[in-house]
Structure 1
């Protein structure tokens, strides 16, 4: 299977006769992909070469996508979950003539020539918001699969809420192209299981079964019957024996379009690097073919051997026109429907317009509660549940759920139904014990304009780290609600007591990690999260009750907006600064009162969001943490990594350097030093007293 370039593809591929518009377009996709990878001397040519017929068939015959209006809300979505095969997508975007909002090409031929180069529109893996036409950032295998499920869910939810008799606003389909690697990833399995359970008939996965991985044949580690697995998931499974068989591909997509009760998996058998001397080999997967192999492959295609980045006359025009002819009338009719909808259903139309524009409804925060001083207080997870429900009443597209933990994470929306195959209008989502899929699905929902959230215990961030990272990379307005945030979990022990997870999130660029210190800080945190529509946030909450601080005595919780603020202070320059987050804020207050009682000038800084605090001016940060005060103590029931930024060389931390233990929280506080007396002692030590 490795040396078949001498066999002329035109004689064996089952496509059309040489020179036909279809064949020219398909081979243009192949050769553009080869040439771009070769020019970069980096990339993955084999999959675009093998799947060019799949891309051509889907885009020119089925995809409802107007190249001149790439952001049309009811467009079909195409997700390249095999993100390493990015040249397939870039070639399709180029040939389709997809336009940016200003009318410039989304991917020009010059962009393709700059494949994988700095600041180009064609990075190594597709990046959402960087290149028009890229629906989501892909590369980590399986994530695109999960995103596609979230997009299919979003379409079903919006259709159930907003479609009216004679006025259909949402009825688009979602296609995801995935490979053997995706099928091996657990996140794809979790997402597929959920999609089958929800009977998402608007979802089609195209599985490129080429039996090749980087290390060699997939039989090194993977030999299951994927079709049988998906049949068990409740999917409709269709086989296409040859990726070059356009008629079979067309029939498969027709089968998907006819399905009404389940998602569809089209298993396409292909030869990676088709037509090249490296066809069917792992050597066609992740490296340039080499100049001589490129020449031989073009020779086998009947392509001009001396031309690079060659697009024959008429290919782009024919490709783009086929899409415009199908999609433009649909888009124009949709726009007319929306205009009429605004007149006939003004309240629902206002919601739709807000979703499409990212606007907030008027008075969205008017019911957010203010919490009265209470020494016993409330767990921040409970306060969060109250605030979430107050916002949800005014913002119907705020939807989400948990990985089978809603009663514990307090993330259910009261009085609302569950989203299910029998009720796509439900706002409470049951993701099951599938943290990884939950994360990627929630991202997919956000990519469709919804304000989506997912929740679990903080320690299980480890099961869903990739989608949390990607939400930050894509600058999505997703909200991650993590409860049971410290050794305060108590008797559940070290398996459920997060230590290093907060540091990981704080180290993630663009992720606003907020750990509120009492109920009013929770309310302020939610207000910040909702206001920042393109800012993913991780809300870190306690299981145990936290005292609700007396805000007439201490500073307002509005300081959460700045990420950190002076909560309690003494007159004059402080002798020592106590810095804390979350449940340890009230501990810092207790220690502060003791220090003040002994005549020591103490300051308490609540620092719920390092991300926000670092965005403040140097003057503001100096006003909170004056450089002249080197005696500082940071208090947090988590690892100490990162706290040196705020305590400096002379300060100390009261943090965790080991895993926790199974015991009541009071015993754990004594064992690990989270007591007022310990804080006072360390404060005096750093002051040299």
Structure 2
């Protein structure tokens, strides 16, 4: 079995099912008013390759995933192909009681690990969840060291809470975190401003993350190695986001001229010779060959992230919004829906037989066999037995005291009881003013690895001892 070839066929099925699910919900299912009910064909298709590589190769049974909210049609298609949803569930997207437009753990806990509908919140929640997972592993000898995989769109990184979270020192020590950024260069209203990707990379690097960028695909990389290939690479690398999006929308017949003509109107003869033997359709395919749609490169990046043992990884995967669809690269494709004619043409181009629109993998096919051999996806473990919590404490309180002082006294008593092993405190740079000093002195500060304290021999009201055994998590004032 050629695994890569099988994955290529799987991603075509994912692209079709995700796109057709939205089409069915908005154009085929009976409706009293004809109003668009939701689902994003363009935003979903941009991550089809990434999701295919993730769910049909890279994920292990104890990995949790926070998928990009707008990728839900492709995500649901994958859950169907993995046997966790029915075709009927796909047909009920956005119907009353049906699948949500955005992944919702509350509504679909069996398949959705983490809700991601509010931009920026899901990514941050998932990453702090990874910190909590590391805490549990350090304190209770938990056998699970599964990863938390976060997928976000590049425009989603504009949310201020994302940058605030990345600045937290403890997160940069988490080896169980992988972020995948869908760099499709488009937000809802516009093409993402130039320089934003450079800023994103700089922020992650400054925060101590390992950064892996998938800019161009393997076919383009091979062309770059040919005589004159460096000219093509410089030409493409120098393009602004708007320029590149315009090139993607340029008809095949005019693309060659657009590439070989310099800003001053002169023709780059070296580049012209490089492209001379390429047909118009081949050239258009090559220009759109970005790393986020090259399964081989994606799998290599995922493997590299798993090997990284000292810090979290972010993969900046360049993609095309609307990939594989006639609306690919259109600056206003976020809310566009394919027409019936476009759907019919897509069905034919992907090899889907008429009447087989909802079919999964044929029994006995390589796709079905590959899927059968995959490890089961994450399912929540059974709730552990509850611990005994005292109903009252042997502690006296002054007739008048602040709630902060009372909290400090309560924690002081709890710190001497067995239940303290299950207590975690968190503060945003206000441990002293919230009377946590006594608790911290007894139970310590949690950090993924032990840190020295040069003030350990100096008498202080609060000793700041950081180690994996601590029970207080300190955050920056950004909270």
Q: How does 1:106-505 map to 2 (within 5 A)?
A: 107-120=85-98, 122-131=99-108, 132-163=110-141, 169-194=143-168, 198-219=172-193, 222=196, 224-241=198-215, 242-304=291-353, 307-314=356-363, 317-318=368-369, 320-324=371-375, 357=383, 359-362=385-388, 364-366=389-391, 368-369=393-394, 371=396, 374=399, 377-391=400-414, 393=417, 394-411=419-436, 413-414=439-440, 415-422=442-449, 423-435=467-479
Measured in 1, the distance between the counterparts of 2:129 and 2:475 equals 15
Match of 1:510 in 2: none
Match of 1:52 in 2: 48
Is the alpha carbon distance of 1:198 and 1:235 closer, same or farther for their aligned partners in structure 2, counting shifts above 3 Å? Answer: closer
Contact 1:369 1:387 in 2 (8 A): no
Match of 1:25 in 2: 10
Q: State the secondary structure of the residue aligned to 1:40.
A: helix
CA RMSD of aligned residues (A): 2.9
Measured in 2, the distance between the counterparts of 1:62 and 1:431 equals 32
Is the alpha carbon distance of 1:28 and 1:432 closer, same or farther for their aligned partners in structure 2, counting shifts above 3 Å? Answer: same
Q: State the secondary structure of the residue aligned to 1:385.
A: helix
Q: CA deviation at 1:146?
A: 0.8
Match of 1:541 in 2: none
Contact 1:277 1:296 in 2 (8 A): no
Q: CA deviation at 1:307?
A: 4.5
Contact 2:7 2:56 in 1 (8 A): no
Which residue of 83, 97, 104 maps to 2:83?
97
Which residue of 5, 8, 19 maps to 1:34?
19
Q: CA deviation at 1:225?
A: 3.3
Q: CA deviation at 1:215?
A: 0.3
* Greater fraction of residues in strand: 1
Is the alpha carbon distance of 1:26 and 1:87 closer, same or farther for their aligned partners in structure 2, counting shifts above 3 Å? Answer: same
Q: State the secondary structure of the residue aligned to 1:218.
A: coil
Is the alpha carbon distance of 1:407 and 1:45 closer, same or farther for their aligned partners in structure 2, counting shifts above 3 Å? Answer: same
Measured in 1, the distance between the counterparts of 2:394 and 2:342 equals 68
Is the alpha carbon distance of 1:379 and 1:373 closer, same or farther for their aligned partners in structure 2, counting shifts above 3 Å? Answer: closer
Is the alpha carbon distance of 1:319 and 1:89 closer, same or farther for their aligned partners in structure 2, counting shifts above 3 Å? Answer: farther
Measured in 2, the distance between the counterparts of 1:113 and 1:195 equals 45
Match of 1:604 in 2: none
Contact 1:195 1:263 in 2 (8 A): no
Contact 1:184 1:222 in 2 (8 A): no
Is the alpha carbon distance of 1:279 and 1:306 closer, same or farther for their aligned partners in structure 2, counting shifts above 3 Å? Answer: farther
Bigger Rg over Cα = 1
Measured in 2, the distance between the counterparts of 1:21 and 1:220 equals 36
Contact 1:47 1:273 in 2 (8 A): yes
Measured in 2, the distance between the counterparts of 1:322 and 1:54 equals 20
| Deviation readout 1:618-652 (Å, 9 max, x if unpaired) | xxxxxxxxxxxxxxxxxxxxxxxxxxxxxxxxxxx
Is the alpha carbon distance of 1:358 and 1:119 closer, same or farther for their aligned partners in structure 2, counting shifts above 3 Å? Answer: farther
Contact 2:104 2:112 in 1 (8 A): yes
The farther-off stretch of 20-29 and 221-230 is 221-230
Is the alpha carbon distance of 1:295 and 1:425 closer, same or farther for their aligned partners in structure 2, counting shifts above 3 Å? Answer: farther
| Deviation readout 1:434-489 (Å, 9 max, x if unpaired) | 22xxxxxxxxxxxxxxxxxxxxxxxxxxxxxxxxxxxxxxxxxxxxxxxxxxxxxx
| Deviation readout 1:345-382 (Å, 9 max, x if unpaired) | xxxxxxxxxx95254312x12553565572xx111122
Match of 1:595 in 2: none
Q: CA deviation at 1:244?
A: 1.9
Contact 1:157 1:426 in 2 (8 A): no
Contact 2:45 2:71 in 1 (8 A): no
| Deviation readout 1:247-286 (Å, 9 max, x if unpaired) | 1111111111111111100111101111211101244323
Measured in 2, the distance between the counterparts of 1:129 and 1:222 equals 34
Measured in 1, the distance between the counterparts of 2:172 and 2:391 equals 35
Which residue of 69, 72, 75 maps to 1:86?
72
Q: CA deviation at 1:234?
A: 0.5
| Deviation readout 1:542-590 (Å, 9 max, x if unpaired) | xxxxxxxxxxxxxxxxxxxxxxxxxxxxxxxxxxxxxxxxxxxxxxxxx
* Structure 1 gap segments, 5+ residues each: 1-14, 66-74, 99-106, 332-354, 436-689
Contact 2:65 2:114 in 1 (8 A): no
How many residue pairs match? The answer is 368
Q: State the secondary structure of the residue aligned to 1:237.
A: strand
Contact 2:134 2:448 in 1 (8 A): no
Q: CA deviation at 1:32?
A: 1.3
